[in-house]
């Protein structure tokens, strides 16, 4: 791969790792110390402030007549609905169930890319998607160890995956016209006004004085690591690879989540995990491979 392709994949791998750890981080905060919707209001607010501060000196202007609706939809699906559904869903269901469901993203992205971006149906890409899904399921589903989740939470995670997939497809054309800073600041502004009426009640009920250090660190991780850093890396990478490739890296999340559980929660690393890792990364290679 060319250097730009290598760095793009490294960026997407970093995103997957940050997200994989996030499954545990979310449960530290919600629902014990604050409601999921209230958490999202603060997450978007403070992450948005950071992003707007980073934009000081950025003079790039947006063509609102041509791109205003698309930017608003990116904020709606990529920040508002996406974050609300994920955090509420994962607070209700198990991290295991959430990880499984999130592997639907590449299927959604590839489908939307075929429908709206004219991406071709390629046999090797379909095979890669199937291998990635197989690896993600294999790493999580081990008879007798699968955690039972909540059906309402599971539905919310599905809606989150669908919403994020729509965002990945919608935002792609904007990457060819504007910088990551410009796009991110506007979609976060829209996302905040989507989340505010939903989470305002929970947001004003929190008691920060009751938060232990672990909760503050988790909140910081969610705001800086899994919000600001992740969105910038995703948008930066989408300038160089297709939305389908971006979505495919969701397969790494269950692998990371399981690794964290092994290292910090006393679970065991087995041959099943190694086989899953092989399937996941082979699937990513097939989806990302260019036709010759």
| Within-domain flag for 274 | no
Cα–Cα dist 142/146, whole Å: 6
Report helix, strand or coil for 35: coil
CB 242 within 8 A of CB 119: yes
Separation CA 87–CA 39 (nearest Å): 8
pLDDT per position as a tens digit, 86-143: 888 888 777 767 777 777 777 777 777 777 767 777 777 778 778 877 776 766 555 5
Domain that holds residue 36: 21-125+146-241
pLDDT of residue 146: 44
For the chain, the domain total comes to: 1
Residue 71 has pLDDT above 90, yes or no: yes
pLDDT digit string, tens, across residues 34-65: 889 999 999 899 989 988 998 888 888 999 99
CB 18, CB 62: distance < 8 Å: no
In a domain, 197, yes or no: yes
pLDDT of residue 189: 94
In a domain, 68, yes or no: yes
**Alpha carbons 147 and 257: distance in angstroms, whole number:** 14
pTM, two decimal places: 0.74
Q: Is residue 189 part of a domain?
A: yes
- Alpha carbon of 7 to those of 2, 204, 233: distances in Å? 9, 41, 10
CA distance 135 to 255: 9
pLDDT exceeds 70 at position 222: yes
227-256 mean pLDDT: 76
pLDDT at 187: 93
114 occurs within a structural domain: yes
3 occurs within a structural domain: no
137 within domain boundaries:
no
- 286 domain-assigned: no
């Amino acid at each position: 791969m060319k250097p730009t392709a290598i760095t793009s994949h490294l960026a997407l791998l970093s995103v997957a790792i940050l997200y994989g750890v996030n499954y545990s981080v979310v449960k530290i905060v919600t629902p014990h110390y604050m409601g999921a919707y209230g958490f999202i209001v603060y997450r978007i607010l403070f992450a948005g402030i950071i992003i707007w501060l980073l934009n000081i000196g950025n003079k790039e202007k947006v063509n609102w007549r041509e791109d205003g609706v698309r930017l608003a939809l990116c904020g709606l699906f990529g920040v508002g609905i996406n974050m609300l559904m994920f955090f509420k869903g994962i607070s209700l269901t198990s991290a295991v169930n959430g990880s499984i469901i999130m592997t639907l993203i590449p299927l959604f992205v590839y489908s939307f890319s075929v429908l709206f971006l004219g991406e071709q149906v390629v046999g090797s890409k379909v095979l890669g998607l199937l291998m990635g899904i197989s690896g993600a399921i294999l790493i999580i589903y081990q008879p007798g160890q699968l955690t039972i989740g909540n059906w309402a939470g599971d539905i919310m995670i599905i809606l989150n995956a669908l919403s994020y997939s729509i965002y990945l497809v919608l935002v792609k054309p904007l990457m060819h016209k504007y910088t990551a800073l410009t796009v991110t600041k506007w979609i976060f502004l829209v996302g905040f006004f989507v989340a505010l009426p939903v989470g305002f009640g929970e947001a004003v009920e929190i008691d920060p004085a009751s938060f232990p250090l672990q909760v503050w660190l988790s909140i910081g991780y969610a705001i800086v690591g899994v919000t600001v850093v992740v969105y910038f890396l995703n948008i930066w990478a989408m300038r160089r690879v297709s939305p389908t490739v971006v979505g495919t890296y969701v397969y790494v999340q269950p692998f990371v989540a399981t690794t964290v559980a092994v290292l910090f929660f006393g679970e065991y690393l087995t041959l099943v995990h190694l086989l899953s890792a092989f399937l996941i990364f082979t699937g990513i290679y097939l989806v990302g491979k260019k036709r010759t």
